[in-house]
Structure 1
Amino acid sequence: MRLPPTPLTTSLRNTPEIELWPAGLLRARGNAHARLLARAHRVLRRKRDGAYLAAELPDGLRALVPNLHREPGMAAARRALADSPAHRRNGLEHVGALPLHRLHERLDALGLDADAYAARTGLILTPEPEWLAFAGFDRWRRPLWLRIDAARAWLRLRDAALADGLVLEAISGYRSHDYQLGIFERKLARGLQVEDILAVNAAPGFSEHHSGLALDIGAPDEAPAEASFERTPAFAWLGERAGDHGFAMSYPRDNPHGIVYEPWHWRFSPT
C-alpha cells in the first residue's frame, strides 16, 4: 500500500514544458489511469493543459499519449527523470531557476511588450523554480506547491495561527507561466479586455506566484480572493504576526504596480 504524501519530503520536478508529479498526488482519469497511477512513481504532466503524458513505472516509462517522443520538452523531462533529485547538492537543498522559456511568445499573444509592461508596473520577470515542495493541500484538496523555504514558513505560519485559535487556508500557491496565460485566455473568452485582466492578474512571467514564494490565504466560510477577507480575524492576525514568519502582503491599497488591493496575497521573503 502506498503511503500518503508527506509535506516537505515530497517534491514536484519542474521543466519548461513538462512537470514531473508524484503519482500519488494526481487524480485518476478513468480506470486505466487508476491502475497505472497505482503502480507509478511519477507522472509526466504537460504544463499547458495538464494532460498526462507518461507514467514512470518500475519497468520503465509508459506513454499515455501517441508519439510521446515528439512531445515538446520531452528531452528536458527525460533528463530530469534521470538526474533527480537535482535539488541535493553537497548535502544541502538547492533551488535553481528555469530559463524564461517562451515568455515573449506568451506576451505577444496578449499584445504586450515585456519591457514596456515592466517599466509601467515596476513588476519584475519571475522565473519558475526547478523544483517545488509539497506543502499540504489547499481549500479544494489540491496539492499546494511552494519553494521549500516558503513551504516551511507557510506550515509554521498556519500552525501558529491554529495555536491562537484561527484557521488559515491556502487558496493557491505556485503557478506556472502557462497556467497564468490560461487565466488570461479564459477571461478573454468571457469577453474581458486585457487591460481589465491586468488590474487583477499580473502578466504571464510577472506574477509572484511563479516564484513559489507567494500564496493566497483565506479563512473558512469566507469567499476566496475577495477584499472582504480584510474584515476577518484571520486577516487581523496576519497583519500582526505574518511578518514574524517572513510573510508580507504584496498588494496593499494604492500600490505602485496597478494591481487591485489583495489582502489575501502574501509573499515569503527569504532571509
Structure 2
Amino acid sequence: MRGHGHVLINTPDIELWPGGLLRARSNADARALARARHVLRRKRDGRFLAADLPEGVLPLVHRLMREDGIDAALDALERIVDYRREGLLRVAELPLDRLEQRLDALGLDAADYQARTGLELIAEPDRLALAGFDRYRRPLWLHPAAARAWTHLRDAALREGIALESISGYRSHDYQLGIFERKRARGQSVDEILTVNAAPGYSEHHSGLALDIGAPGEPPAEESFERTPAFAWLRDHAGGHGFAMSYPRGNPHGIVYEPWHWRYAPPA
C-alpha cells in the first residue's frame, strides 16, 4: 500500500502527523483526530498534544504552551504550505541536541562509545514520507528517497513471487531511548542491549534510510530470516535498488548479525 503523498513534519520534540493515520484511546480525542488536518504528537511517549482543525489548533492536553518544543512545532505547522510547495526534495537534518543527556541516562560516554563501536551520531530528517504500512499496520515512515526505493524494491520482489514485509522504519532518538528503558525494566543490562540495539543517537533508523525487513509467516528480526527465499532475493537484488545489509556477521560495530536490517544509500 502506497503512501498517497502523506508527509510527517519532524521537530526535535514533537512530530506533526497528517490527519487520519492515528487512533485515539478516548472518545474526545477520537472526535478531534477525525477532523484534524494534522496532529501534534509528543515523541518521547506518543502522547497527542493538539489537533489542527479547520477552525484552529485544539489543545488535547492541559497547558499546551508549556510543552517542550511547542513553539517550534507550531511554527512548523504554519510552514506546511511552504513544505508542500517545495516538495520533498529539500530534506534537512534536525540538530543533534540533548543526546548527551540521553547517553548519560544510560551511563554511556559518547566519545568512548564512538571509539569502541565506530558508529557515528545520526541526525533525524525534518520530513519523512509515508511508505505504506508495516506488518503491524503501523504507518511506515522513511526518508523520501528511501520510501521511493523501498516501494520499487518491494514491487520488484513481488513480480518474482517474493513477498517482503517491513517490520519498522524511522525511529526517533526518543523512541530509541524508550527501547533501552523497556529492556532495562525487564532486567537486561545496557551492555546486553547494546549487542542488539545501537545507543540513542547512533541507530541507522534515526535517518529514515534504514528499515527492518521480514517475510510473511516468519518471526520478526530473527537470524532465521537468512534461510528464507525473501532473504535470498534481497542478497541477490537489493544492491541494485540501493540497499545494503548493515550488520553482516563479524561486523566491526559489535552488533549481532542482522540479516533483516537494510539501509538505503542515496546516489551521490
Question: TM bucket by the smaller chain?
Answer: over 0.9
Instruction: Choose from 66, 77, 83 the match for 1:81.
Output: 77
| 8 Å contact kept, 1:201–1:259 | yes
Deviations 1:109-130 (A, max 9, x none): 0001111111110111000000
**CA shift for structure 1 position 30:** 2.2
CA contact (8 A) 1:215 1:267 kept: yes
Contact kept, 8 Å, 2:39 with 2:50, in 1: the verdict is yes
Q: Distance in 2 between matches of 1:9 and 1:124?
A: 31
Change (3 A) 1:99 1:210: same
Give the number of aligned pairs. 267
Aligned equivalent of 1:147, options 125, 133, 143? 143
Q: Say whether the 8 Å CA contact 2:88–2:144 is kept in structure 1.
A: no
The residue aligned with 1:207 is 203
Distance in 2 of aligned mates of 1:117 and 1:89: 41
Question: 2:266 pairs with 260, 265, 270, which one?
Answer: 270
Structure 1: distance between partners of 2:87 and 2:39: 26
Matched, 1:231 2:227: yes
* CA displacement, residues 189-244 of structure 1 (integer Å, 9 cap, x when unaligned): 01110000000000000000000000000000000000000000000000000001
Unaligned runs of 5+ residues in structure 1 are none
Judge conservation of contact 1:8–1:148 (CA < 8 Å) in 2.
Answer: no
Conserved? CA contact 1:8–1:152, under 8 Å: no
Q: Is 1:248 equivalent to 2:247 in the alignment?
A: no
Distance 1:237 1:112, change over 3 A: same
Percent of residue pairs identical: 69
| Alpha-carbon distance in structure 2 between the residues aligned to 1:113 and 1:89 | 42
Please point out which of 158, 164, 188 is paired with 1:162.
158
- Give the letter aligned to residue 230 of structure 2: A
**Cα distance change on mapping 1:128 and 1:91 into 2, 3 Å:** closer
What CA distance in whole angstroms lies between the structure 1 residues aligned with 2:81 and 2:43?
A: 20
Distance in structure 1 (CA, Å) of the matches to 2:112 and 2:81: 38
User: 3-state DSSP class of the match of 2:20?
Assistant: helix
Moved over 4 A (4+): 85-92
Q: CA RMSD in A?
A: 1.3
| From 101, 105, 114, the counterpart of 2:101 | 105
Asked if residue 178 in structure 1 is aligned to residue 174 in structure 2, the reply is yes
Name the TM-score, length of structure 2 as normaliser: 0.97
Which of 18, 25, 38 is the equivalent residue of 1:42? 38
Aligned residue among 110, 113, 118 for 1:117: 113
* Residue number among 194, 199, 205 corresponding to 1:198 in the alignment: 194
Larger deviation, residues 23-32 vs 253-262: 23-32
Mean alpha-carbon deviation: is it higher for 75-84 or for 255-264?
Answer: 75-84
SS in 1 for 2:211: strand
Q: Does the aligned pair in 2 maintain the 1:8–1:134 contact within 8 Å?
A: yes
Report SS of the residue matched to 2:244: strand
Under a length normalisation based on structure 1, what TM-score does the superposition of the two structures give?
0.96
**2:114 counterpart letter in structure 1:** A
Helix, strand or coil at the partner of 2:200: coil
Which one of 126, 129, 152 corresponds to residue 125 of structure 2? 129
